[in-house]
Structure 1
């Protein structure tokens, strides 16, 4: 069982990183020759002291959330009984802390790789390290000690699917280092994951609970099977709406960046494609 804040905080981090990744990938693609494009697992913010801001957000956000899970949520009651058994009442917090530790380690390793000589990893290697962090998240939500059932389980199933897309796109970045589609899909998947955390928070723990279902204690209960199925249908529509929203954002980023930073070769390619389309359209009209 989670909470509204417990979903909004990680959702904010994923959403910020994902949207920045989408914008950066598009700008890098349109501002340079397409053949020179390279996939990046993280994207610099300018060239000054803010250059590594994304990595600081990942490492700092993961560390702060990890402290909340392990220190605040558990009230430092890690063990129970004389035998020192791990407190079963806080297994959920321990699992979340382990997942966040992986993202924290990824951020620290990436910072050390960029700013020191101790861990000179290539971008492909950093992609695989990031994929390992997403794998830990996938395993957490798939084999969660908290038994997600009913409508709550369906929302977490969709989240697992989105995390799987993050794993696939991040691993693909290591093996297809010149693919704009792979780099863009990675940012889209991370953005969707962040948005779905928000959607889960507002639906299951906020004002958007489907009719016929309610938060009862620590469980989401529905009055009937039909109410639960209706809630799942609504979840499908919500996910589709978020996909459409991200698609519109990608188109907006491409339109703005192409007009502002567009490389001459890309502009020439667009002009040639438009001319060919107009010619083909004219021929089809003449034939009719």
Structure 2
């Protein structure tokens, strides 16, 4: 149950983060237009009743630090023990905390434009380290569990490629939208893994949860199947879930595009361009003005 909760919490966090990004990316693209669109790796949070524009970065940083502490203290036992799996998980969150912490500092010191390239590198580092650690972490997973982890690596690989493309092409809407979709996909896949691997009711037919007791206080769950046919069926089911979840996310992304396209009309874009033009004219005037000596 602890492993299910861990997958559920992490999956929900990634899913909500991806949803937040995909809505803001499409909104920004529709308002600014292709020529003025620029990729952002976080978005300000402002509402009429609550204004805290750095909420996303603060939430990511807090979540990462809490996750690191829980891995080191071996939640829910809360005692220090050097467990390789726990430290691998904690290392993934270290890179996420580095990105959120540095990005928050650039915001607070108004130096984002100077270090935007390095922020993009930090984002790529998050996914590269996640893929690296997942690849070797998953070597001891066999059967359906290993297959679910292998499919997870495919999703993280797409996130890595999209983040690298966003770093090289900071005005690419395609790179931004693929990155946000892959975040949602990661989150949904974590949730799916939690149900299919750690809840007995959802374990594939003719497969069982194997509870291997390694010590008096540590129990790990793994799914094993009674025959090659059952193992093949379980992996085929995972492949179908992979395609179905991706299809649902793509349908959602398409609906968001169409809905926001109706809401943010050409009037909004013209208003944005008018404001940008006034800012540019003001800058030219200020640069051309020279005080008398």
Asked if Structure 1 and Structure 2 have the same fold, meaning a TM-score greater than 0.5 normalized by the shorter chain, the answer is: yes
Shift of 1:117: 5.5
SS at match of 1:144: helix
- Find the partner of 1:165 among 153, 158, 165: 158
SS at match of 1:46: coil
For residues 26-48 of structure 1, the C-alpha deviation after alignment (integer angstroms, 9 at most, x for no partner) is 00111122211111111222387
Higher RCO, 1 vs 2 (CA within 8 Å, ≥6 residues apart): 1
Q: Which residue is 1:183 aligned to?
A: 176
Say whether the 8 Å CA contact 2:74–2:86 is kept in structure 1.
no
Q: TM-score, normalised by structure 1?
A: 0.83
Q: Which residue is 2:229 aligned to?
A: 226
Q: Which residue is 2:108 aligned to?
A: 115
Q: Which residue is 1:60 aligned to?
A: 62
Matches of 1:142 and 1:32, distance apart in 2: 39
Q: Which residue is 2:276 aligned to?
A: none
Count of residues in Structure 1 that have an aligned counterpart in Structure 2: 256
Where does structure 2 lack aligned partners over 5 or more consecutive residues? 212-220, 271-293
Shift of 1:134: 1.3
Matches of 1:262 and 1:119, distance apart in 2: 30
Q: Which residue is 1:260 aligned to?
A: 263
Q: 1:113 to 1:162 in 2, by over 3 A?
A: same
Bigger shift: 116-125 or 136-145? Answer: 116-125
Matches of 2:114 and 2:238, distance apart in 1: 40
Q: Which residue is 1:208 aligned to?
A: 202
Say what the alpha-carbon RMSD is for the aligned residues: 2.2
Shift of 1:128: 1.2
| Runs (4+) off by over 4 Å | 117-121, 264-267
Say whether the 8 Å CA contact 2:184–2:249 is kept in structure 1.
yes
Matches of 1:20 and 1:53, distance apart in 2: 12
Q: TM-score, normalised by structure 2?
A: 0.81
Matches of 2:240 and 2:138, distance apart in 1: 28
Where does structure 1 lack aligned partners over 5 or more consecutive residues? 79-86, 268-288
Q: Which residue is 1:17 aligned to?
A: 17
- Find the partner of 2:73 among 68, 71, 74: 71
Q: Which residue is 2:250 aligned to?
A: 247
Shift of 1:179: 1.0
Matches of 2:69 and 2:258, distance apart in 1: 41
Say whether the 8 Å CA contact 1:23–1:253 is kept in structure 2.
yes
Shift of 1:141: 0.8
